[in-house]
Amino acid sequence: MIAQKKRSVKKWIHPHHQVVRHVLFPLVAFLVWLLYRFKVTRFKEENNRQYLILANHQTGFDQFYPSLAFRRPIYYVASEDIFSMGFLSKVIIWLQNPIPIKKQVTDIKAVMSCLRVAKEGGNIGIFPEGNRTFSGQTAYINPAIGGLAKKLGLPIAFFKIEGGYGVQPRWSDVRRRGKMKAYVSSVLEPEEYKSWTNEELYRYICETLYQNEANTEGTFRHKNSAQYLERVLYVCPHCGITHFESCGDTVKCTGCGRSAKYLPTKEFLGDFPFRFMLDWYNYQQNYINSLNTLELTQQPIIRDTCSLYQVSLYSKKRLLAENVQMALYGDRVELSGSFDKVLPFGAVENITILGKNKLDIYHGDMVYQVQGDKRFNALKYLNLFHRYKNLTTEVQNGSFLGL
What percentage of residues in the chain have a pLDDT greater than 70?
95
Residues 53, 139, 163, CA angle at the centre, nearest 5°? 70
What percentage of residues in the chain have a pLDDT greater than 90?
76
Q: State pLDDT tens for residues 108-137.
A: 888 999 999 999 999 999 999 988 999 999
Cβ 352 vs Cβ 330: under 8 Å: no
3: pLDDT strictly greater than 70: no
Q: To the nearest whole number, what is the mean pLDDT of the chain? A: 92
Model pLDDT, residue 1: 41
Model pLDDT, residue 78: 85
Q: State pLDDT tens for residues 354-386.
A: 989 999 999 988 899 999 999 999 999 999 999
CB crowding 292-322: b at 16 or more within 10 Å, else e? ebeebeeebbbebebbbbebeeeeebeebee
User: Residue 126: beta bridge partners?
Assistant: 54
CA-only gyration radius of the chain, Å: 22
Q: Distance of CA 395 to CAs 140, 387, 388, 398, Å?
A: 16, 10, 11, 5
191 CB-contact burial (10 Å; exposed 0-12 / middle 13-18 / buried 19+):
exposed
150: pLDDT strictly greater than 90: yes
3-state secondary structure of 390: helix
156: pLDDT strictly greater than 60: yes
76: pLDDT strictly greater than 90: yes
- Amino acid code (one letter) for 92: I
Give the length of the chain: 403
Model pLDDT, residue 108: 85
Distance CA 314, CA 159 (A): 28
Distance CA 221, CA 149 (A): 39
- DSSP string across 150-191: HHH---EEEEEEESHHHHS-TT-SSPPB---EEEEEEEE-HH
3-state secondary structure of 363: strand
Cβ 272 vs Cβ 257: under 8 Å: no
Q: State pLDDT tens for residues 7-45.
A: 556 889 999 999 988 898 889 899 888 888 888 999 999
Nearest by Cα to 257 from 238, 275, 274 = 238
Cβ 136 vs Cβ 213: under 8 Å: yes
- Please, what is the angle between helix 144-152 and helix 198-209, to 10°? 110
Contacts of 306 by beta carbon, 8 Å cutoff, 6+ apart: 324, 326, 370, 371, 372, 376
Tell me what the mean pLDDT of segment 193-199 comes to: 96
Q: Which residue has the higher pLDDT, 291 or 317?
A: 291
For the beta carbon of residue 323, count every other beta carbon within 10 angstroms. Answer: 11
3-state secondary structure of 266: coil
